[in-house]
């Protein structure tokens, strides 16, 4: 017998691979978690021709990949995938099972958790191992994002969580990496009650942050997704784009493509409106090319005011509705 | 359900055999001097081509040729080597394909498929075509975890 797969499992969501980095980000975090509980990271790679993704996951830190290749797995089908992965879990009992909070992950993981009779924390913004109990602590927004809850799964396995893209950092691609490969038996159960009649790709609006003349940026100070959505209306009224700081992305208020700063994009708009951002260097590094910077923050000592041309000291919850109302009247 | 680790794969280059990936494998005994072997050696990140060495026999157990790092060596069977885009092919005197190695390039890695019909010195079939790669009947290959090196 060879080695057994590590007990921290990550579901490999390889669709749109070079844009969708959440699996790689999860592998990075899973490595830390696995180390804490003395095991390794195994990535599940399910599909028809998935060989290059298995290699990619090893390059980004997977200790092993568990591969199922079959023509009937070419489509992401929730019922088929649930039956397949549930059987693997029941047979080999991983401690932790993670997936990205993508459209598929949000559909697939609740069904899988139900099938396995275990808990699931959705859209987590942090994960860590409790040093005493060795349980996975899953931090997830609760009450509409007003507070963060820490969830544990003490009595059932695996401990399951989905994580929003952009929360964790991916490890760099290492061409010298090697990893184990497992080919468990693939039993396809024709349980699908959904038939794919035709496929149409939704055209998503292209984000043109770098080209925008007006950029509206939201940060942690906005406090909730609902507040952040007001920025989208503000940007639309000004024919601009919405950017975000890392805390806003971690909170799941918007997609990672909108991240500005050292690990995100750099912009040079004529006007930049920064709302609820403290002005941390990691963020301001990406906006220093802006023409006029307008900052809204309730803390008069926030560093953002040092680089802004115009500052409004006030709570975004109060200022934004007034600003929107005025703009609606004038535009 | 068979769950033991069957081989290791590399982030850089792998071979496809028996429908499965491995960073390297060996059939037979490369050090034997006069018996069949087939070595698909581990490819390190500095290289982008597979490293194939072999001693190949015909179905009657007659020595056809030797291959050393993708090149023909001893060649009593008058085989020919043909370079292809993405790989190479070795043909016997009659022009039939003995061995074909084709490498698929991914954005950040390589996968080499091996196909052909290989026999040992006793005329036993040791590798045969299977879809886009090959099947190894009988004794399974030895998987490599590091470069085999010289032989």
B55-70 mean pLDDT: 95
Q: In chain B, what are the domain boundaries?
A: 3-144
Of the residues A136, A166, A182, the one at which a domain ends: A182
Cβ-based contacts under 8 A for chains A and B = 97
Where does residue A304 fall: left (phi above 0), alpha (psi -120 to 50 degrees), or beta otherwise? Answer: alpha
Of the residues A182, A199, A233, the one at which a domain ends: A182
Point out the residue among A59, A69, A91 whose CB comes nearest to the CB of B108.
A59
For the stretch B102-150, pLDDT in tens is 999 999 999 999 999 999 999 999 999 887 778 899 888 999 989 997 6
Query: Measured between alpha carbons, how far is A284 from A51 in angstroms, rounded to an integer?
Result: 40
What pLDDT shows up at residue A11?
Answer: 97
Q: What residues have CB less than 8 Å from B34, skipping those under 6 apart?
A: B55, B121
What pLDDT shows up at residue A1?
Answer: 38
What pLDDT shows up at residue B3?
Answer: 46
Assess whether pLDDT exceeds 60 at residue B34.
Answer: yes
B30-59 mean pLDDT: 94
**In angstroms, what separates the C-alpha of A8 from chain B's closest C-alpha?**
16
Flag whether A285 is in a domain. yes
Residues A219 and A263 in one domain: yes
Q: What residues have CB less than 8 Å from A239, skipping those under 6 apart?
A: A213, A214
Flag whether A190 is in a domain. no
Cβ contacts (< 8 Å) between B10 and chain A: which residues? 55, 58, 177-178
The residue of chain B with its CA nearest to that of A64 is B8
Residues A47 and A146 in one domain: yes
What pLDDT shows up at residue A169?
Answer: 86
Flag whether A16 is in a domain. yes
The total number of structural domains in chain A stands at: 2
ipTM of the complex: 0.92
Point out the residue among B2, B11, B44 whose CB comes nearest to the CB of A184.
B2
Residues A121 and A227 in one domain: no
SS (H, E, C) chain B: CCCCCCEEEECCEEEEECCEEECCEEEECCCCCCCCEEEEECCCCCCCCCEEEEEEECCCCCEEEEEECCEECCCCCCCEEEEECCEEEEECCCCCEEEEEEEEEECCEEEEEEEECEECCCCCEEEEEECCEEECCCCCCEECCCCCCCC
The residue of chain A with its CA nearest to that of B3 is A184
B82-98 mean pLDDT: 95
**A5 touching B (Cβ < 8 Å):** yes
Residues A172 and A220 in one domain: no
CB neighbourhood size of A133 (10 A): 10
The residue of chain A with its CA nearest to that of B105 is A52
Show the domain range for A276.
209-330
**In angstroms, what separates the C-alpha of A183 from chain B's closest C-alpha?**
7
What pLDDT shows up at residue A146?
Answer: 61
Assess whether pLDDT exceeds 90 at residue B78.
Answer: yes
What pLDDT shows up at residue A15?
Answer: 84
Cβ contacts (< 8 Å) between B1 and chain A: which residues? 87, 91, 184-185
**A65 touching B (Cβ < 8 Å):** yes
- Domain of A40, CATH number, reads 3.40.50.620
Contact A233, A324 (CB under 8 A): yes
Flag whether A200 is in a domain. no
Q: Is the pTM higher than 0.90?
A: no
Residues A62 and A136 in one domain: yes
Flag whether A188 is in a domain. no
Low-confidence ranges of chain A (pLDDT < 70): 1-3, 19, 144-146, 190-192, 201-207
Flag whether A221 is in a domain. yes
Cβ contacts (< 8 Å) between B2 and chain A: which residues? 183-185
What pLDDT shows up at residue A144?
Answer: 56
What pLDDT shows up at residue A205?
Answer: 62
For the stretch A116-144, pLDDT in tens is 999 999 988 899 999 999 999 999 877 75
Cβ contacts (< 8 Å) between A91 and chain B: which residues? 1, 3
What pLDDT shows up at residue A187?
Answer: 83
């Amino acid at each position: 017998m060879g080695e057994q797969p590590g007990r921290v499992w990550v579901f490999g969501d390889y669709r749109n691979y070079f844009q969708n980095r959440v699996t790689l980000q999860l592998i990075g975090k899973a490595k830390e978690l696995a180390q804490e509980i003395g095991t390794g990271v195994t990535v599940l790679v399910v599909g028809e021709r998935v060989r290059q993704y298995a290699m990619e996951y090893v390059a980004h830190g997977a200790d092993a990949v568990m591969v199922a290749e079959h023509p009937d797995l070419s489509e992401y089908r929730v019922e088929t995938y649930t039956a397949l992965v549930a059987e693997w879990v029941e047979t080999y009992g991983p401690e932790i099972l993670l997936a990205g909070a993508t459209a598929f992950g949000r559909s697939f993981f609740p069904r899988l958790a139900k099938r396995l009779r275990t808990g699931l924390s959705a859209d987590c913004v942090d994960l860590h191992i409790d040093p005493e109990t060795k349980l996975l602590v899953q931090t997830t927004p609760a009450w509409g994002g007003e507070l963060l809850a820490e969830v544990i799964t003490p009595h059932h396995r695996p401990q399951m969580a989905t994580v929003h893209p952009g929360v964790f950092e991916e490890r760099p691609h290492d061409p010298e990496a090697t990893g184990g490969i497992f080919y468990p038996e693939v039993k396809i159960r024709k349980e699908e009650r959904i038939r794919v009649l035709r496929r149409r790709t939704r055209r998503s609006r292209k984000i043109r942050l770098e080209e925008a003349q007006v950029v509206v940026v939201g940060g942690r100070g906005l406090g909730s997704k609902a507040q952040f959505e007001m920025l989208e209306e503000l940007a639309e009224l000004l024919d601009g784009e919405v950017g975000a700081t890392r805390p806003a992305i971690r909170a799941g208020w918007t997609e990672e493509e909108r991240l500005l700063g050292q690990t995100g994009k750099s912009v040079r708009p004529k006007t930049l409106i920064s709302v609820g951002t403290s002005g941390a260097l990691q963020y301001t590094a990406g906006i220093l090319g802006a023409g006029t910077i307008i900052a809204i923050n309730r803390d008069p000592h926030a560093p953002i005011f040092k680089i802004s041309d115009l500052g409004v000291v006030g709570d975004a919850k109060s200022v934004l509705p007034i600003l929107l109302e005025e703009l609606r009247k004038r535009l | 359900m068979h769950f033991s680790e069957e081989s290791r794969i590399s982030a850089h280059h792998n071979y496809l055999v028996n429908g499965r990936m491995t960073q390297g494998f060996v059939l037979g005994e490369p050090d034997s001097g006069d018996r069949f072997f087939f070595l698909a050696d581990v490819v390190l990140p500095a290289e982008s081509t597979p490293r194939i060495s072999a001693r190949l026999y015909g179905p009657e157990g007659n020595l056809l040729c030797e291959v050393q790092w993708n090149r023909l060596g001893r060649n009593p069977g008058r085989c020919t080597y043909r370079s292809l885009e993405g790989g190479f092919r070795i043909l016997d005197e009659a022009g039939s394909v003995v061995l074909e190695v084709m490498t698929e390039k991914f954005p950040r890695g390589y996968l080499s498929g091996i196909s052909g019909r290989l026999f040992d010195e006793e005329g036993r079939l040791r590798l045969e075509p299977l879809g886009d790669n090959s099947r190894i009947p009988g004794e399974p290959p030895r998987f490599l975890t590091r470069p085999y090196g010289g032989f």
